[in-house]
């Protein structure tokens, strides 16, 4: 249990996720859609590890509030999904959008597709002492390989991909 910190997410009485109908009243406007999708995200820290984000879609103008937290491994409460969960969800959703767009270009119907992405995060050192080094690793396939798969299936009236596991050895490290 964290010391010297209050569980703001638990005591505020708000759900972790909800639709925001008045984002403009607090000064957050949807971004202009210049090319494809546009999203504006406003984030603030509620406590050391708890964050709140408001996300507004440039396409629909809809806004959503969601919160994140870390677990005991970072001296927090585990009251909401960790930021890595949101990052992974956004990344794999983006790939699904690309696959669907490529299929539409090729006039393919995709049935029963599932994408699975494994994301890993490592930490060394201490956050309070300023010596922490974080590293991330996620398993993905190149979108070009997916494009090649869709083009190969072009002659069929539909494309069945019952299970795809996205893989790669890509990694990123931040200091």
- Give the DSSP letter of residue 76: S
> If the chain, 175 residues long, is cut into consecutive pieces of 10 residues, what is the mean pLDDT of each piece?
76 94 88 88 92 93 94 91 90 86 86 80 82 74 46 43 36 28
Report the C-alpha gap between 42 and 92 in whole angstroms: 22
Distance of CA 60 to the CA centre of its chain: 19
Backbone torsions φ then ψ of 154, nearest 5 degrees: -55, -35
Give residue 142's pLDDT.
40
57: its two tokens: 């879609």
b/e map 107-141, b = 16+ CB within 10 Å = ebebeeeebebebeeeeeeeeeeeeeeeebebbbb
pLDDT, tens digit, for every residue of 108-148? 888 878 887 888 888 888 877 889 888 876 665 444 444 44
Q: Would you put residue 162 in left (φ > 0), alpha (ψ -120 to 50) or beta? A: alpha
Map residue 5 onto helix, strand or coil.
Answer: coil
Give residue 94's pLDDT.
87
């Amino acid at each position: 249990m964290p010391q010297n910190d209050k569980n703001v997410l638990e005591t505020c009485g708000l759900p972790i996720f909800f639709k925001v109908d008045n984002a403009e009243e607090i000064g957050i406007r949807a971004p202009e859609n210049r090319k494809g999708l546009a999203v504006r995200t406003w984030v603030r820290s509620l406590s050391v590890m708890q964050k709140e984000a408001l996300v507004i879609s440039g396409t629909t103008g809809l806004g959503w509030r969601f919160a994140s937290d870390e677990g005991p491994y970072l001296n927090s409460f585990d009251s909401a999904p960790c930021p890595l969960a949101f990052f992974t969800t956004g990344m794999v959703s983006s790939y699904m959008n690309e696959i669907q767009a490529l299929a539409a270009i090729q006039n393919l119907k995709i049935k029963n597709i599932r994408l699975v992405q494994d994301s890993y995060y490592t930490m060394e050192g201490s956050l309070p002492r300023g010596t922490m080094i974080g590293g991330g690793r996620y398993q993905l396939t190149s979108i070009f390989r997916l494009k090649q798969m869709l083009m190969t299936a072009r002659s069929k009236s539909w494309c069945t991909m019952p299970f795809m596991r996205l893989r790669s050895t890509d990694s990123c490290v931040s200091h």
